[in-house]
Amino acid sequence: MSTSTIIAGARKEGRSLLTEIEAKQVLEEAGVPVSPARLARTRDDAVKMAKELGYPIVLKIVSPQITHKSDVGGVALNLTSADEVGAAFDGIIASAKRHVPDATIEGVAVQRMEKPGIEVIVGMTKDPQFGPVLMFGLGGVLVEVLKDVAFRVVPINERDARQMVHEIKGFPLLEGYRGHDPADVARLEQLLIKVSQFIEQHPEVAELDLNPVFAYKDGALAVDARIVLD
Amino acid sequence: MPISPDHLRRVLNPRSVVVVGSKKADAYMWLRNYSTFKDGPLYSVQIDPNEIPGIEAMGVQNFTSLMDVPGDIDYVMLAVPRPVAPRVLADCAKKGVAGVALFTSGFAETGEEEGIRLQEQVLQIARDGKLALIGPNCMGLYNRRLGIRQSAEQGAGEAGDVGFISQSGTHGINFGLVGEQYGVRVSTSISIGNAIVLDVPDYLDYLADDPETKVIAMYIEGFKDGERFVRSLRRAASLKAVVVWKGGVTDAGARATASHTGALATPTAVFNAVVRQAGGLLATSLEDTIDVVKALLYAKPATGRGMGLMAMTGGQSVVITDAFVEAGLEVPRLSEASYEQLRGFFNIIGGSYQNPLDMGGTIGYGGGTGNMKRLFEILDADPHVDAIAMEMASGFLARMWASNPASLDTLLDTLVEHRDRSSKPFVAVLQPQHVEDVVRQARLRVQERGIAAFASFERAARALRRAIDYHRFKAGLD
């Protein structure tokens, strides 16, 4: 499905929040590297999609009524075979129905369990004066407690992207702290530019969060994505 | 219909000026402020017969109606009571006046209904009459060359080279007054008040194109249109350096901003990023703004961050180094060739030359020896050194400079010779120490010779850092 179809679909249903699957499809189409997620409506779907994506696999319940997925047993991690995926699919559906009996269950999101990298976050909010503002920071405690983030107004150019990544105080972590692999800073910068281009082309996007993005020594990948429309 | 650049140029460079509402109670403030205006007629409009003799005693011709004033009028300072402001403004429109600065306050900034209503009325009259309106609630124009001032204490005559835009009358006046004490002179400064017709971007566009203005600085609290501000800032910064001093950066300060100018707050971190992205430089106070402007005007452009540091004693060598490193500059080791030369003559008893150069014992008391010149030549030739800063040791030397002014002149001759020969930026540090009165006199002498002197290591370092940031931005670096 194309971006416009997805956005129109959400609007038609009266939703301003895209599902993770929709958000990732939209971003993928815009050239932002994301860990793909597919919607499996049946056990067989899930097994087939897992095979396509490659193991290990993560399954997550998809229901507009369920936001805290793990609280209702709606998440299964590190599944390494078709049997495990199949059993987890059944388990998740059953558990979700038991916890939230009147929930509309659309299915289960199937995605790769990505190998961990350095966690960074990319976000966008709209400033009443300056319009869309892009944010970059290191994930976890560094952003929440220390507010170690960099901002730029959309659109950003290559220099802006470079400055965003370099100006956070935690930048040495991306350079390979204490023997860890250095992050692929160039790919992070590219990711920021792609996100900026996406936002520029879609003024109807009110908020965006890629959290976390895994920064690897040879690439960057948005593992979770959240998009809110105006 | 926006005001055209030619129209604004005429208003900010007027050839005929009228003050409406000058009165004894404020000692004819505006007529006094404009008493240095000699490039055309200055008239007064005042209907109160009790006020007219005092105005005429100042040698200013008074009219009882603006409509009676002869010839074209470029600039009107309107200082009348709030209820009559719309009526006089309507006269300005009818008369075909080019621009009006509305000193009168009590408009939307009061938050009260009557003030908001009157502001709407004023806006409508200005729009309909194509008036370039400055304010209301402002101190209007300071054009140093033309002698049109915001305060009778401000200088007049020779044009300065710094444009200033101020959302506060106080900071606008002070930038002119204080800046002049530190070698920074205004070309054109505008106190913009409530900015209901002409706003920050209009003035910024003007100053960006003004050939007299080499550097632009501003004090702002908020905007009506952030995206337009960014466009103007981007354009201006591509032409000349723009220093942005923002008031209301703390939560409590932002509350004060809301009641001062009613501006909508953007988080400070976002605002700072916006300015950096557009190529502007941030400043945090009047002194800080003047410092950065001074570094931009006086120090030669450079993009490298390696400092060559010169101090008179060991203790100062340590803290000058800390200050420049803290400001984000570097203090590298010098080249082998430099060390080779330094070894030949540098006095290492009570001194050292690693960089910083702890040079008191080498150059001699007061710096009158030829060794100082040699040190400058070595640093100037050193490929690791991009810029040079020197402590002037005012704590030791100021009394001597006072009693024997030739000693300061000798030192300054050496500094000026270096400055003229070298392509690297040079800044001096002249601390007030315990001899503030003497140092002030010395600073004026230093400035007269075109050397940038700063009151502390930190201020010199932070100012130079931002000047270098600007040149890096222009060069597409970082």
What is the DSSP pairing of strand A57-62 with strand A75-79? Answer: antiparallel
**Which one of A129, A147, A160 has the shortest CB-CB distance to B266?**
A129
User: If interface means Cβ-Cβ distance under 8 Å, which residues of chain A face chain B?
Assistant: 127-131, 133, 147, 149-153, 156, 159-160, 162-163, 166
Size of interface A-B (CB pairs under 8 A): 47
Range of the domain at A40: 3-112
* Confidence band for A118, pLDDT divided at 50, 70 and 90: very high
Q: 0.90 cut: is pTM over it?
A: yes
Residues A134, A177 within the same domain: yes
Q: Which runs of E-coded beta strand occur in A95-161?
A: 107-112, 118-127, 131-138, 149-153
- Contact check, Cβ <8 Å, B264/A149: no
Report which of residues B251 and A89 the model is more confident about: A89
Burial class (CB in 10 A: 0-12, 13-18, 19+), A165: buried
CATH number at residue B9: 3.40.50.720
Span B188-234, pLDDT tens digits: 999 999 999 999 999 999 999 999 999 999 999 988 899 999 999 99
Residue A97 and residue A128 in one domain: no
CA distance B18 to chain A (A): 37
For tokens 């004490």, what's the residue? B181
Q: In terms of domains, do B95 and B118 share one? A: yes
List of chain A residues whose C-beta atoms are within 8 Å of the C-beta of residue B273: 133, 150-153
Domains held by chain A: number: 2
Q: How high is the pLDDT of residue A177?
A: 81
Which CATH number does the domain housing residue B195 bear?
Answer: 3.40.50.261
Nearest chain A Cα distance for residue B223, angstroms: 8
Among A129, A150, A153, whose Cβ lies nearest the Cβ of B223? A129
| Class of residue A229 by CB neighbours under 10 A (exposed 0-12, middle 13-18, buried 19+) | middle
| CB < 8 Å to A147, chain B | 269
Do residues A146 and A75 both lie within one domain?
A: no
**Comparing C-alpha atoms, which of A34, A32, A84, A39 is closest to residue A57?**
A84
* Residues in chain B whose Cβ is within 8 Å of chain A: 222-223, 225-227, 229-230, 264, 266-267, 269-270, 273-274, 276-277, 476, 478
CA A159 to chain B, closest CA, distance in angstroms equals 7
Handedness of CA B166, B171, B176, B180 (dihedral sign): negative
Question: Which of A69, A91, A112 delimits the end of a domain?
Answer: A112
Judged by CB atoms closer than 8 Å, whether chains meet at B277 and A160 is answered as: yes
Write the residue in B230, B264, B273 that is nearest to A151 by C-beta: B273
- The pLDDT-based confidence of A69 (bands split at 50, 70, 90) is confident
d(C-alpha A152, C-alpha B280), whole Å:
13
pLDDT at position A22 is: 93
Look at B270 and A159 and tell me if their CB atoms are within 8 Å. Answer: no
Closest CA to B208 of B199, B217, B197: B217
Contact A159 B227 (CB under 8 A): no
Structure letter (DSSP) for residue B330: B
CB-based contact B380:B310 (threshold 8 Å): no
A58 and A127 share one domain: no
Residues B426 and B470 in one domain: yes
User: Of A112, A127, A151, which residue constitutes the final position of a domain?
Assistant: A112
Nearest chain A residue to B230 by CA: give it: A130
Chain A residues lying within 8 Å of B476, measured CB to CB: 159
- Say whether both B321 and B462 belong to one domain: yes
How far is the alpha carbon of A110 from chain B, nearest alpha carbon, in Å? 37
| pLDDT surpasses 80 at B63 | yes
Q: Are residues A16 and A102 in the same domain?
A: yes
Rounded CA gap, B361 and B352, in Å? 9
A13 and A73 both lie in a single domain: yes
| pLDDT tens by residue, B1-47 | 689 999 999 999 999 999 999 999 999 999 999 999 999 999 999 99
pLDDT range class, residue B317, cuts 50, 70, 90: very high
**Mean pLDDT, range A140-166, rounded to an integer:** 88
Domain containing B411 equals 300-474
Check residue B323 and give its pLDDT.
98
Q: Which of A102-106, B37-41, B154-158 has the lowest mean pLDDT?
A: A102-106
How far apart are the CA of B478 and the nearest CA of chain A, in angstroms? Answer: 7
Average pLDDT of the residues in B274-283? 96
Residue A143 and residue B474: Cα distance in Å, rounded?
Answer: 31
In terms of domains, do A127 and A40 share one?
Answer: no
The pLDDT of A30-40, averaged and rounded, is: 95
Domain limit, last residue, from A78, A112, A146:
A112
Is the domain of B289 the same as that of B334? no
CATH of the domain at A162: 3.30.470.20
